[in-house]
Structure 1
Amino acid sequence: MDLEKKNIGKDLGTPIGIVAGLIIILIGIYLQKTSATFPQKLNWFVSPSALFIVIGSTFAAAMVAIPFNSIKTIPAVIGITVRSLAFDYLAVIDKMLELAAIGRKDGLFALEKHAREIEDPFFSNYLEQATFERDSKKLKANMDMEMNNIMSRHEAGAELFTFMGTYAPAFGMMGTVIGLIVMMYGFDTGGSGSVAEKFADLLQGMATALITTLYGVVFANLVFLPIAAKLERRSINELRHKEIVAQGILMLHAKEHPILIKEKLMNFVPKELKSKKSENKDSD
């Protein structure tokens, strides 16, 4: 019995959100009133050198700030954001109540065969451990240790993208400063051409230099920081699921009454899910 419902589909929110953000930016560029055509406007915002400075410097800074092994996990972490992960807290609580009734009637050893039927490794392993471990403190310590390890792993993934979201705008500004320095040194006050033409070239160079700042802001606020926020939300949901399981197993181990178990575990369930369950009961 799989009580986690992991990988139940694709979560297209991340790619759709990024594409939608880019489309909104393109529409904003299109709506700007100038004599230039839309392709010409788009060309103003394309700069391979700016993209290289922002992305390259951001990844370089991330490698300085965090272990290189964490950098190598970027593809896997991004993959997590496009997988739809769901945790059925109410199903876990219902299962706990079923197991509590069996444990109180037939004893904890009777739960061992039920543990093998549960596909969630965390639930299955510690339910089985509860059948032979007499010391509840040791059982709790083992579960806490695994949950802390899970939390540390999740924090490392979110921290990586938070770092990049923090650094990207700064390196965008750095690229702009580089562009301005190159432009100033390249500005020729002598030679042929009117003053107006030279200042027009100067303004065009300043606009080009500012593109790097734009790239830094877009990557930070449309890609890196939203991914970090999604990873943090995923971590909260999974750890809530683990906490429900852990608390339930401890109460099963103590042979508490199912009513008390349900009352305590329902405190972990979000209000919207409680309301949904109440509505389903009313409709029945």
Structure 2
Amino acid sequence: MDFSLIIGIVLGFGALLFGFSHEGGSLESLQAISSFIIVFGGTIGAVIASFPLHDVLQAIRGVIASFKVPHSGTTEQIINKISTISSAYRKDGVVALDAALQDSDLNKEEYLLLKEGLILIQEMLDPEDIQYVLDADIRSYKQKKMTEIRVFESAGGFSPTMGVIGTVMSLVVVLGNGFGDPAELATSISTAFIATLYGVGFANVIYLPIANKLKGVMKRSLVQKELIVDGVCLISKGSLPRTIENELSLYHQAFPDGQKRYRKGIEN
């Protein structure tokens, strides 16, 4: 599990609140329900108006799934499984694939593409045809993930604008009530700018970081999927398990702790 997103958001807001308090501001003065409703509600409404509801819900599910990001440990497991299947395939041919497809691990998210690839090998397709079909799956996956990313990037764009709208609305109300006590007027004007603060804060501490998080998860998932495509094609060509391990070990380098695993893979 990866909780860096939550940790980052908490630290971001914590730093902002600490800085505001350190400058002499009162945290209670930041509580403005009307500003929150205008900024948050307006942003959500604009996003829903911009995307099909299915895409918005899918984006939320994508954020939840991002807590389980691909890492090089999982990549190592995939390489080992591909190597094992390759060894059995060289020995027993297509019959070995029947046994491999019974493995419950292939029903897990990270192995579904491998399962599809083994089925294509069973159907006696050429490696080039197998790669074409699996690459199409990868393109579909990337398109879906890019939609999730655009949802939060759009929220990051709408939020500051909604903040400005909220501030303007508050100023209209304040100035419309006339120029009374200067101190009270100054307080009302400062309160009006809380909406702008909300809009910019939500965009840069929540929405845009989430979009960047989803980009990182997508890139690493694409690395694993490309690894699987190469592995399946090597299996279909009858490559030696050791050759497969060496070639696929290159993919370890796409992950933070992958360099060590890469060296381990080519030295074994």
**TM-score normalised according to structure 1 size:** 0.81
Q: Counterparts of 2:240 and 2:66 in 1: how far apart (Å)?
A: 39
Read off the aligned partner of 1:52 and give its amino acid letter: I
Deviates more, 1:17-26 or 1:173-182: 17-26
Q: Counterparts of 1:140 and 1:279 in 2: how far apart (Å)?
A: 27
Identity, % of aligned pairs? 24
Q: Counterparts of 2:118 and 2:167 in 1: how far apart (Å)?
A: 58
Corresponding residue of 2:155: 164
1:76 aligns with 2:61: yes
**TM-score normalised according to structure 2 size:** 0.85
Q: Counterparts of 1:142 and 1:133 in 2: how far apart (Å)?
A: 13
1:144 aligned residue (111, 125, 135): 135
Q: Counterparts of 2:90 and 2:54 in 1: how far apart (Å)?
A: 47
Read off the aligned partner of 1:161 and give its amino acid letter: F
SS of the residue 2:221 aligns to = helix
CA 1:265 to 1:109, structure 2 compared with 1: closer, same or farther past 3 Å? same
CA 1:229 to 1:84, structure 2 compared with 1: closer, same or farther past 3 Å? same
Read off the aligned partner of 2:157 and give its amino acid letter: T
Q: Counterparts of 1:133 and 1:233 in 2: how far apart (Å)?
A: 35
Corresponding residue of 1:192: none
Which structure: greater helix fraction? 2
CA 1:27 to 1:273, structure 2 compared with 1: closer, same or farther past 3 Å? closer
Structure 2: 5+ residue runs without aligned partners?
Answer: none
Calculate the aligned-residue CA RMSD, in Å.
2.7
1:115 aligned residue (94, 101, 113): 101
Corresponding residue of 1:30: 21
Asked if the contact 1:115/1:125 (under 8 Å) is kept, the reply is: no
Corresponding residue of 1:102: 88
Deviations 1:216-247 (A, max 9, x none): 11111111111111111111122211111111
1:91 aligns with 2:81: no
Deviation at 1:84, TM superposition (A): 5.2
1:245 aligns with 2:228: yes
Asked if the contact 1:81/1:227 (under 8 Å) is kept, the reply is: no
2:259 aligned residue (275, 279, 282): 275
CA 1:31 to 1:169, structure 2 compared with 1: closer, same or farther past 3 Å? same
1:204 aligns with 2:190: no
Deviation at 1:186, TM superposition (A): 1.8
Count, aligned residues? 261
Read off the aligned partner of 2:49 and give its amino acid letter: V
Corresponding residue of 1:65: 50
CA 1:23 to 1:153, structure 2 compared with 1: closer, same or farther past 3 Å? same
The structure with the larger Rg is 1
CA 1:130 to 1:277, structure 2 compared with 1: closer, same or farther past 3 Å? same
Asked if the contact 1:108/1:253 (under 8 Å) is kept, the reply is: no
